[in-house]
Structure 1
């Protein structure tokens, strides 16, 4: 049974306690009915409300089997090497002299003892503890009491699932350098601590400085990371002792944005500098201690998530009229997002670009599986969904029409940011790294490639290949000519021959990154929101229908159904297609409010032509 189910069951009360609770509630309800006109109703029990909200947040996340496996990989049971305890030599000698078992008997006894230890759930739970991970959280206030309470509930939900927050508090309405700013940020820090404790969390204010101003010694002349945002602070492993102590005690550390300057004075700095220094320092401290035997109460200091909680939400997107980006591939989209940032958004999202730069810097220090989320204080439950699924609320690769009218997307929809991969378009078969593409296809499809036939076909028919990273994923598109004598006038078919992602990159956003680039290079071409910088045509050109086939029992078909314009089942296969979006838009515009008819003239007969051509394409695999 998954840990998520266990987490839900753990919040339920025993049957006898539940019976007493229901009886007490029945009496309270009757008594409250009589006195309702004279006295206000008592507030609901905080723990009960929190537990119910927690359960509902997990259910609303609706994790898939792959999501659950990914969550358990980070927080589930892990085998740990048991410590070797050597008894004193005198004790060993006394036991050997008194018992003197044969070698055969001793080996049997040891084997039975090992089997009994494996069968014991108590010993198994000690040897395989549930791992707790850390998240760096920037609270970009000020927030009202109600808003802080909402955020505090989100932090508590995450802690129940194994993610412990290290919070840095920012107070945007307090200009730097004002008198009394130190007392003001300390007071704001204590407000956050009080909000957490109100809902049952253990929190510890870390009012001493844990970061130091300036670059690390020896790194004054050059930045270690080639990012636009360079943190103006650093930290050493010993500086993190207050944070480590709080985490070990089961407390959430809450820090003000303070740093130690060269005169050993504690001064207020930008919270982004503190967060970036912690992202690097906590990762380095965790790496140094990785060879030591961890204590079962230790928390993995390596940050798994970066959470930026503010009032403005995520990064506005030009493709969605200022609504937030859903998923950002920083490796290929960072510069483009900055260049297309509308100046009008600076009044509504003043810190969007600085937080974008912060996310890029922090993720460069964090594991490749990590992600950052920029979220409004109004969406605390979305933090649960991000933790469990590590995905945006709505997939960014869905058809644009579905994204435009989706009720789940509003100004408070979170933006998920991943370090991501470079995405590039290759238009010549000679430029493909054939050995790497072969490995990708065979690992993804778990079949042996018929290399001679496959590369001959690529040399003859290749249109383009979209490659993510160092062949972590690829979309291969060919041009299939209509045979001579085909009735009607049909353009050559743009055919998706292969769509593959390495198993190690499935679930990290690579699939969505690839499909968005595929959309921009084929059926989405010509639209203003298809101008993403993926090395291809950058939105210039005329969109083309995209056609592909998939076996009827392919588990990926559900994903294809959601992204295709239509499909038709043909025996053991399913034929999918995506209509050119610009043509659909133009046709709908000509007809005004009437829109498209059930069957347009350009659709007549095309399915029979497509199926006739597509199902004659030879297999790429050895039998």
Structure 2
């Protein structure tokens, strides 16, 4: 039996949910077009103090699931019920420490002091402290570094203690004064953190060792993931653990011990990757300060050494995307997209974003060691509050699966929008039923929909109607698209028959990765963003309108409303569709500035046709 969460969890969840009701809702019929070029935002104003932290939390706009996920990482752990004391019931229901007057007594009226907002109080008083690896990749001037330091101090107040590795791209390794200058950079970061009230500890001694880890069997690892040229052993992390337990933020220059026990400056990426692996191993093999039964820190004085986040703060921002005219990727599936991003990286970006690919490789290396729920973020110094939003929601600033027309017109999409990176899953497209693992697909569908599948009826339909199936990982998610024949016309409708993700993968990016792949194989064909190597058509061909239906009371409908280009309510159902993007672009170019009519010739009669065909698709649930 799972214990009920503390009341503060419900208060926070309810409060954050109420905040979301103030945001705009995307209930629209058809998206036609938006501004071609979003405005470029200036640097964020420097935070002013405690109230700015509260505003940053609210701007993150976390959903109910986001707030629960945050509390699962930083909130109180379930406690075993102590033995019930032999106290009268009326005493048990009172607050501890409050005297219980007798029946004849009349308690004096005491005015209670004002209480802080339960939302802010819960978030600003984390019980569990977690760690994040942070690369501060300068050079930064004092104003920029001040803003970064303030953001990192805010993260500490929210329970995320940063382990900072300092880098300066203008300081070449091997120069006579490179050690002295990088130490000065380290002390600048320490001073800025202390200026904003944090305790920081410079660790100037080498806590990583040069070279690959001894006895490391590289054959067991993915050959496409770069192994760091440095490593640690558990004893090397004693200074780091000591600083964390003392409530201090460790600030580390990229030094390593070579084979002659000399301290030399190394690539900061190798130092960070070595720390990521070492901290994960130390937390797993020797979780000092953790209870042996639960694996949680015993008190708020302990820090979970396993990194929860990797944060790369630089001047470049995220990884530029060919599909967004050089604006950053919003969310990257490292498992399936890394190679393609490297292959499509434009030459001019090597000047404007010289470290984007090396940081992409760093994120992939680190996340291969870190827990699956971990993520990495690449962010410009211009957007320090993005770190707070990422911590609470673990999501990109904008969903990568939103329609491109909405993304192009969104003020949040700027050259400085952060890129979120997840380990992700491989994505593949299969086009015949004999390539489908029916047993695994059955488990996926029944767990996702919480219903029993009529397998005979389901697969009998797919035998004649299947177009393709997109599979994420080992059936962690799947999108099944069929061709539904229209009577008397010979045409067919591209119908999204099932879209499912396992419950334990909801919230880790799999939903967005799967929908982006669905876009690439159906209504997005012909669009530049659809040229992805997922085993499908790789952008070649003409897009087709994608149609699907959902029960009117389905809680997922809000997500569908935001991604569809139109919807129609039919009794207890909602019919959704996504128009073929290439055709919309063609129409827009043909008409130019004359505008688009409310109903195009190709739209006439299609809703009645879709309704007639799609609403007759039989149910395959028992």
| TMscore range, shorter length | 0.7 to 0.9
Q: How far is the alpha carbon of 1:582 from its aligned partner?
A: 0.7
1:184-239 CA-to-partner distances (Å, cap 9, x unmatched) read: 11111010000001011111111111000011222387575534422100001110
Instruction: Find the aligned partners of 2:526 and 2:588 in 1 and give their Cα distance.
Output: 16
Instruction: Find the aligned partners of 1:386 and 1:256 in 2 and give their Cα distance.
Output: 25
Q: How far is the alpha carbon of 1:289 from its aligned partner?
A: 2.4
With 305-314 and 489-498 compared, the bigger mean Cα shift is at 489-498
Match of 2:209 in 1: 212
- Given candidates 411, 416, 426, the residue that maps to 2:430 is 426
Instruction: Find the aligned partners of 1:230 and 1:119 in 2 and give their Cα distance.
Output: 58
Q: Normalising by the residue count of structure 2, what TM-score does the alignment of the two structures yield?
A: 0.85
Kindly indicate whether the alpha-carbon contact (under 8 Å) linking 1:336 and 1:533 is maintained by their aligned counterparts in 2: yes
2:567 counterpart SS class? strand
Instruction: Find the aligned partners of 1:528 and 1:566 in 2 and give their Cα distance.
Output: 22
Q: How far is the alpha carbon of 1:419 from its aligned partner?
A: 0.1
Q: Normalising by the residue count of structure 1, what TM-score does the alignment of the two structures yield?
A: 0.85
1:477 counterpart SS class? strand
User: How do 1:274-423 residues align onto structure 2 when only pairs under 5 Å count?
Assistant: 274-290=271-287, 293=291, 294-296=297-299, 297-423=301-427
Kindly indicate whether the alpha-carbon contact (under 8 Å) linking 1:227 and 1:360 is maintained by their aligned counterparts in 2: no
1:8-36 CA-to-partner distances (Å, cap 9, x unmatched) read: x9xxxxxxxxxxxxxxxxxxxxxxxxxxx
Q: How far is the alpha carbon of 1:593 from its aligned partner?
A: 1.1
Q: How far is the alpha carbon of 1:324 from its aligned partner?
A: 0.3
Instruction: Find the aligned partners of 1:454 and 1:147 in 2 and give their Cα distance.
Output: 58
1:254-288 CA-to-partner distances (Å, cap 9, x unmatched) read: 00110101100111111101100000000000001
Kindly indicate whether the alpha-carbon contact (under 8 Å) linking 1:544 and 1:580 is maintained by their aligned counterparts in 2: yes
Structure 1 position 243 matched with structure 2 position 216 = no
Match of 1:166 in 2: 163
Match of 1:153 in 2: 150
Match of 2:71 in 1: 72
Instruction: Find the aligned partners of 1:220 and 1:332 in 2 and give their Cα distance.
Output: 24
Q: Which of 1 and 2 has greater Rg?
A: 1
Match of 2:619 in 1: 619
1:60-86 CA-to-partner distances (Å, cap 9, x unmatched) read: 00000000111111111113679xxxx
Instruction: Find the aligned partners of 1:320 and 1:346 in 2 and give their Cα distance.
Output: 17
Instruction: Find the aligned partners of 2:65 and 2:552 in 1 and give their Cα distance.
Output: 21
Instruction: Find the aligned partners of 1:481 and 1:521 in 2 and give their Cα distance.
Output: 19
Instruction: Find the aligned partners of 1:303 and 1:244 in 2 and give their Cα distance.
Output: 13
More helix by share: 1
- Given candidates 85, 99, 113, the residue that maps to 1:112 is 85
Distance 1:121 1:167, change over 3 A: farther
Kindly indicate whether the alpha-carbon contact (under 8 Å) linking 1:137 and 1:165 is maintained by their aligned counterparts in 2: yes
User: How do 1:182-197 residues align onto structure 2 when only pairs under 5 Å count?
Assistant: 182-197=179-194
Distance 1:120 1:78, change over 3 A: farther
Structure 2, unmatched stretches of 5+, are 1-6, 16-45, 98-121, 292-296
User: How do 1:559-598 residues align onto structure 2 when only pairs under 5 Å count?
Assistant: 559-598=559-598
Distance 1:453 1:203, change over 3 A: same
RMSD between superposed Cα atoms in Å: 2.4
Kindly indicate whether the alpha-carbon contact (under 8 Å) linking 2:565 and 2:577 is maintained by their aligned counterparts in 1: yes
Structure 1 position 63 matched with structure 2 position 36 = no
Distance 1:111 1:617, change over 3 A: same
Distance 1:318 1:255, change over 3 A: same
1:56-113 CA-to-partner distances (Å, cap 9, x unmatched) read: 100100000000111111111113679xxxxxxxxxxxxxxxxxxxxxxxxxx95426
Kindly indicate whether the alpha-carbon contact (under 8 Å) linking 2:126 and 2:158 is maintained by their aligned counterparts in 1: no
Instruction: Find the aligned partners of 1:434 and 1:135 in 2 and give their Cα distance.
Output: 40
Instruction: Find the aligned partners of 1:132 and 1:143 in 2 and give their Cα distance.
Output: 28
Distance 1:121 1:322, change over 3 A: farther
Distance 1:232 1:387, change over 3 A: same
Structure 1, unmatched stretches of 5+, are 10-45, 83-108
Match of 2:249 in 1: 252
Kindly indicate whether the alpha-carbon contact (under 8 Å) linking 1:428 and 1:462 is maintained by their aligned counterparts in 2: yes
Match of 2:553 in 1: 553
Structure 1 position 532 matched with structure 2 position 532 = yes
Distance 1:238 1:409, change over 3 A: same
Kindly indicate whether the alpha-carbon contact (under 8 Å) linking 1:135 and 1:163 is maintained by their aligned counterparts in 2: yes
Match of 2:544 in 1: 544
Match of 2:260 in 1: 263
Distance 1:121 1:387, change over 3 A: farther
Distance 1:225 1:285, change over 3 A: farther
1:435-467 CA-to-partner distances (Å, cap 9, x unmatched) read: 111111111111111111111011111100101
Instruction: Find the aligned partners of 1:4 and 1:306 in 2 and give their Cα distance.
Output: 29
Greater relative contact order: 1 or 2 (C-alpha under 8 angstroms, separation 6 or more)? Answer: 2
Instruction: Find the aligned partners of 1:371 and 1:363 in 2 and give their Cα distance.
Output: 7
- Given candidates 195, 200, 220, the residue that maps to 2:197 is 200
1:575 counterpart SS class? strand
Q: How far is the alpha carbon of 1:528 from its aligned partner?
A: 2.0
Instruction: Find the aligned partners of 2:50 and 2:9 in 1 and give their Cα distance.
Output: 16
Match of 2:129 in 1: 132
Distance 1:322 1:610, change over 3 A: same
Distance 1:429 1:55, change over 3 A: same
Instruction: Find the aligned partners of 2:69 and 2:8 in 1 and give their Cα distance.
Output: 11
Distance 1:225 1:578, change over 3 A: closer
Kindly indicate whether the alpha-carbon contact (under 8 Å) linking 2:378 and 2:419 is maintained by their aligned counterparts in 1: yes
